[in-house]
Amino acid sequence: MTTMSGEPPVGLIGRQDELEAALKSLVADRTLPLYRMMDYHMGWSETTGEARISAPPLRVHGALTLLACESLGGNFSDALPHASSVEYLYNHILIHDDVRDGNSERDRRASVWWSWGPAQAINTGDGMHALARLALFEARNSGVTSESVADAIRVLDEANLETCEGQYRDITLQERLDVGVDEYLSMCESQTGALLACAVQLGALASGESDDATATVSVSGALNVFGRKLGTAIRVADDCDLFWPNGERDETRQGRLVAKKKSLPVAHVIADGTPTDRRRIGEIYMERVIDPESAKTLVEILDAAGARKFSTDTITRLLDEAESALIGANLSAVAVQKLTEAARYLATPDGLASTDLVTDGGA
């Protein structure tokens, strides 16, 4: 079984309330309206400043940090600063994504830039970037060594820089049709996987895990692979959902299709399809935007060329590799099971729908 659907695993959602409280505590005492734009983006308030009733999306990065910490035998509360840090870093990326891509919506509400303009949105994102790191100093205040905090910040900033590299490649690929399968997957790994890898590595750091000398890879190295494979699998699952949605394609997703976002199914047919299929896809992608009729034709070509099976096989392979990495580091069976269960859920349509991952910016 490569995917499963339905309710999210407890390991993933069990600490969302505590995480939410930790995230809120970092801005609650800050009075400048700058922080109220952050509140809005995080889903805690309306543009008017009134409290919001709907629950925020599942915070995948923070949840994975807490899950990794607990799976490795740590106390989740030791990982709350780390979880807050990676979660704020991710949300800073989303705020900037929306400016860059001109997304008017985020999580079915007006995006920050749409509500307050690009200048405030860029600045709010930058402020959240600083906040992400200050979150980690909370750990230092509660007795974590400077050594460990410095390690965590380094992991965070290296992942951050790699995410920017992935963004750069994503922006650049938009202009090209001849994007190879490996090139596409490698971009996804940087743009989405690096930060998920960072999330689980931070959880391990917070747990104070020590390596099993008989393991072939270090725990940190294994979690790094796990997060990268997971991020890539999620991106491919999202690609599949774009072409073969459960039910109707909503406006946001239709917009991504129209805007010709790069995807694995198309990359596969461009690389390995028949000359006719490649030519027909080329013609569709030469259109300024893809109209609904062309979208239907495109999906037919992809189906006939086996792109759907190729993509779901890729997801299976990536998730299996993620699991193998954990096994190779001699993680306990329970840890492997919990982390793998979370990963497999996140790469399902239900998993995608419950999170703030790849909602529309493609990050």
Residue 178 vs 313, nearer CB to its own copies: 178
- Told to check if 28 binds its own copies by CB under 8 A, we report no
User: Between residues 194 and 315, which has the closer beta carbon with respect to its own copies?
Assistant: 194
Q: In this complex, which beta carbon is closest to its own copies, that of residue 134 or of residue 334?
A: 134
For 234-255, the DSSP string reads HHHHHHHHHHS-SSS--HHHHH
Estimate the crossing angle of helix 307-328 against helix 219-243, to 10 degrees.
Answer: 160
129 counts as binding its own copies under rule CB under 8 A: yes
Q: For residue 248, state whether it binds its own copies (rule: CB under 8 A).
A: no
| Alpha carbons 38 and 129: distance in angstroms, whole number | 11
> In angstroms, rounded to a whole number, what is the distance separating the alpha carbons of residues 245 and 238?
9
Closest by Cα among 93, 116, 109, 99 to 36: 116
CA distance 219 to 331: 8
Q: Which of 151, 146, 132, 145 has the alpha carbon at shortest distance from 23?
A: 132
Q: What are the respective helix, strand and coil percentages of the chain, to the nearest 5? A: 70, 0, 30
Which x/- pattern over 130-149 shows residues binding its own copies (rule: CB under 8 A)? xx-xx--x--x----xxx-x
Q: Is 278 in the site for its own copies (CB under 8 A)?
A: no
Report 210-239 residues binding its own copies (CB under 8 A): none
**Residue 272 engages its own copies in binding (rule: CB under 8 A):** no
Nearer to its own copies, 126 or 250 (CB): 126
Q: Which of 34, 110, 177, 327 binds its own copies (CB under 8 A)?
A: 34
SS3 111: coil
Binding flag, residue 26, its own copies (CB under 8 A): no
If one asks whether residue 154 binds its own copies (CB under 8 A), the answer comes out as yes
Task: Find the shortest distance in angstroms from Cβ 183 to its own copies.
Answer: 13
Choosing from 45, 47, 104, 123, the residue that interacts with its own copies (CB under 8 A) is 123
Question: Applying CB under 8 A, which part among 9-17, 43-51, 155-163, 337-345 lies near its own copies?
Answer: 155-163
Residues 203 and 18: their CA atoms lie apart, in Å, by 15
Candidate list 6, 17, 29, 32; residue touching its own copies; CB under 8 A:
32
d(CA 160, CA 130): 12
Between 92 and 338, CB nearer to its own copies: 92
Query: With left for phi above 0 and alpha for psi between -120 and 50, is residue 148 left, alpha or beta?
Result: alpha
Residue 131 or 264: which CB sits closer to its own copies? 131
- Residues within window 83-112 making contact with its own copies, judged by CB under 8 A: 92-93, 96, 99-101
160 binds its own copies (CB under 8 A): yes
Considering the complex, state which of residue 201 and residue 314 has its C-beta at the smaller distance from its own copies: 201
**Which parts of 165-184 interact with its own copies (CB under 8 A)?**
165, 167-169, 171-172
Nearest to 355 by CA among 16, 4, 2, 3: 16
Q: Which residue in the set 4, 45, 107, 122 belongs to the binding site for its own copies (CB under 8 A)? A: 122
Task: Confirm or reject binding of residue 164 to its own copies (CB under 8 A).
Answer: yes
Q: Using alpha carbons only, what angle is made at residue 136 by residues 130 and 138, rounded to the nearest 5 degrees?
A: 115
Question: Distance (Å, rounded) from C-alpha 67 to C-alpha 204?
Answer: 9
User: Per CB under 8 A, which region of 125-133, 211-219, 224-232, 289-297 contacts its own copies?
Assistant: 125-133
What residues have CB less than 8 Å from 336, skipping those under 6 apart? 323, 326, 327
User: Which runs of E-coded beta strand occur in 194-334?
Assistant: none
153 scored as a contact of its own copies (CB under 8 A)? yes
What amino acid is encoded at 96 in this protein? H
Interface residues toward its own copies, by CB under 8 A? 32-34, 92-93, 96, 99-101, 118-120, 122-124, 126-127, 129-131, 133-134, 137, 140, 145-147, 149-151, 153-154, 157-158, 160-161, 164-165, 167-169, 171-172
